[in-house]
C-alpha cells in the first residue's frame, strides 16, 4: 500500500452503549445515512426490514467507545517513491474521478509543495 492516512487513538476502552437505550440504533442510522448513498446512490430504507431481522443484525455488532488519551495522525503518501512515481500516482488517482481519490491526490500534491 503506497498511500494512506490513519489515526491511532490510545486510551481506555469500554463496550459502547452500555446502559444507553437506543445507542446502537442511533449510531447505525447515522453511519448508514452518511455512507449508504456512496455505495448505491440511494438512501437506505429501514422500513422494509422486519424488526426481528434488525435485532438479529444488531446483536452481531459489538461497539467500542474509546476515551482518547493520545491521538496520533500518520500518513504515507508515496514519499519514499521517486518524483516521477508520485506524479504518476497523482494522475492515476485524478483519472478515477472519485472524491476519495481526488482528496488523496490533493494531499499528495500539497506534500510535494511543502517538500520542494
Mean pLDDT, residues 43-66: 84
Q: How many CB atoms lie within 10 A of CB 98?
A: 12
pLDDT at 21 over 80: no
Q: What is the pLDDT of residues 70-111, one digit of tens each?
A: 999 998 888 888 899 999 999 999 999 999 899 999 999 998
Q: How many residues does the chain have?
A: 116
Taking the C-alpha atoms of residue 39 and residue 75, their distance in angstroms, rounded to an integer, is 25
The pTM (predicted TM-score) of the whole model is 0.54
Residue 72 pairs with which residues in a beta bridge? 8
Q: What is the mean pLDDT of residues 2-13?
A: 91
Amino acid at each position: 500500500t503506497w498511500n494512506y492516512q490513519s489515526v491511532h487513538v490510545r486510551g481506555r476502552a469500554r463496550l459502547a452503549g452500555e446502559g444507553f437505550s437506543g445507542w446502537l440504533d442511533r449510531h447505525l442510522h447515522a453511519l448508514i445515512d452518511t455512507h449508504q448513498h456512496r455505495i448505491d446512490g440511494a438512501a437506505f430504507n429501514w422500513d422494509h426490514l422486519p424488526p426481528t431481522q434488525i435485532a438479529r443484525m444488531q446483536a452481531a455488532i459489538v461497539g467500542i467507545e474509546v476515551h482518547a488519551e493520545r491521538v496520533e495522525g500518520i500518513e504515507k503518501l508515496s514519499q519514499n517513491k521517486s518524483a516521477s512515481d508520485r506524479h504518476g500516482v497523482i494522475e492515476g488517482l485524478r483519472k478515477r474521478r472519485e472524491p476519495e481519490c481526488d482528496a488523496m491526490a490533493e494531499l499528495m500534491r500539497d506534500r510535494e509543495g511543502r517538500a520542494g
